């Protein structure tokens, strides 16, 4: 028996069956897998290199940070946040106040009704009984009406006798349909946005409500009583 011939024949058969190629392939897969796992693994070179790169990017030179600038940045951010909060709360507060201010307002009033409301408010102690109020009604060619009211008379007995209609305490300006488009209370021009922050009470509040809602005023001039009476 020739052993060499047997081994050669066996090797030829193994090569023909692809056995050697399969073994080499499997070994290469195992080896490559191990190399990759070692490189990218928890303790591999890739992780170490990645950690070093991240650390370099995150490093902060505290000596160059500039604490003063940092403090200013923080203060500016706090100021910005505070201003935003105040704005939101301020708008909400104005909304709440406006809702309270406009409770119970009507869509239509008579001029005589407003005059009586003013007299009642200004004569709670009945010290004006028998006195006359200041009242002027003007109408333009285009149907616009201008109403001037004042708790004090125009007469010579009043210390305001020399004043013009523009110095009357109350002014109401109506369009052709009778809706209020402008109003004044003392020096407060209600058509200016900043005037809505003023606190109004009693008849002043009613005048503001009428302006704020654009209520209609029916001018019943013949029913207007310009004298304070004993009933108030």
Residue 176 sits at the vertex; the CA angle it makes with 189 and 191, to the nearest 5 degrees, is: 15
What's the confidence (pLDDT) of residue 232? Answer: 43
- 189 forms beta bridges with 184
Q: Output the CA–CA distances (angstroms, integers) from residue 122 to 41, 114, 132, 148, 169, in the order listed.
A: 90, 12, 12, 16, 12
Give pLDDT tens digits for 171-189.
Answer: 999 999 999 999 999 878 8
- Cα separation, 182 vs 197, in Å, equals 17
Q: Output the CA–CA distances (angstroms, integers) from residue 218 to 52, 57, 108, 227, in the order listed.
A: 84, 77, 7, 20
What's the confidence (pLDDT) of residue 100? Answer: 63
8 A C-beta contact, residue 151 and residue 133: yes
Q: Which of 39, 57, 56 is nearest to 48 (CA)?
A: 39
Give pLDDT tens digits for 154-175.
Answer: 654 444 445 678 889 999 999 9
Output the tens digit of pLDDT for each of the chain's 232 residues.
566 666 666 666 666 667 767 777 777 777 777 777 777 666 667 677 777 777 776 666 656 655 555 566 666 666 677 677 666 665 666 566 666 666 677 889 999 999 999 999 999 888 889 999 999 999 988 899 999 999 988 654 444 445 678 889 999 999 999 999 999 998 788 877 555 555 678 898 888 888 888 889 999 999 999 999 865 4
Give pLDDT tens digits for 74-95.
Answer: 666 666 776 776 666 656 665 6
What's the confidence (pLDDT) of residue 160? Answer: 47
The model carries a pTM of: 0.55
């Amino acid at each position: 028996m020739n052993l060499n011939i047997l081994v050669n024949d066996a090797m030829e058969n193994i090569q023909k069956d692809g056995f050697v190629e399969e073994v080499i392939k499997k070994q290469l897969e195992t080896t490559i897998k191990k190399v990759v796992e070692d490189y990218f693994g928890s303790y591999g070179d890739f992780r170490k290199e990645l950690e070093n790169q991240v650390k370099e990017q995150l490093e902060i030179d505290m000596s160059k940070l500039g604490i003063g600038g940092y403090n200013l940045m923080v203060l500016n951010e706090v100021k910005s946040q505070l201003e935003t909060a105040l704005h939101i709360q301020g708008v909400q507060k104005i909304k709440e106040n406006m809702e309270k201010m406009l409770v119970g307002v009507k869509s239509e009033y008579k001029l005589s009704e407003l005059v009586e409301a003013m007299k009642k408010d200004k004569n709670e102690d009945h010290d004006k009984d028998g006195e006359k109020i200041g009242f002027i009604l003007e109408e333009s060619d285009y149907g616009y009406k201008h109403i001037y009211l004042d708790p004090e008379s125009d007469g010579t007995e009043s210390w305001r006798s020399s004043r013009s209609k523009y110095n009357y305490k109350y002014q109401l300006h109506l369009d052709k349909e009778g809706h209020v488009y402008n109003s004044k209370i003392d020096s407060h021009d209600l058509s200016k946005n900043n005037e809505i922050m003023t606190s109004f009470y009693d008849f002043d509040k009613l005048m503001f409500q009428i302006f704020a809602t654009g209520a209609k005023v029916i001018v019943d001039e013949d029913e207007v009583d310009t004298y304070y009476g004993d009933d108030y």
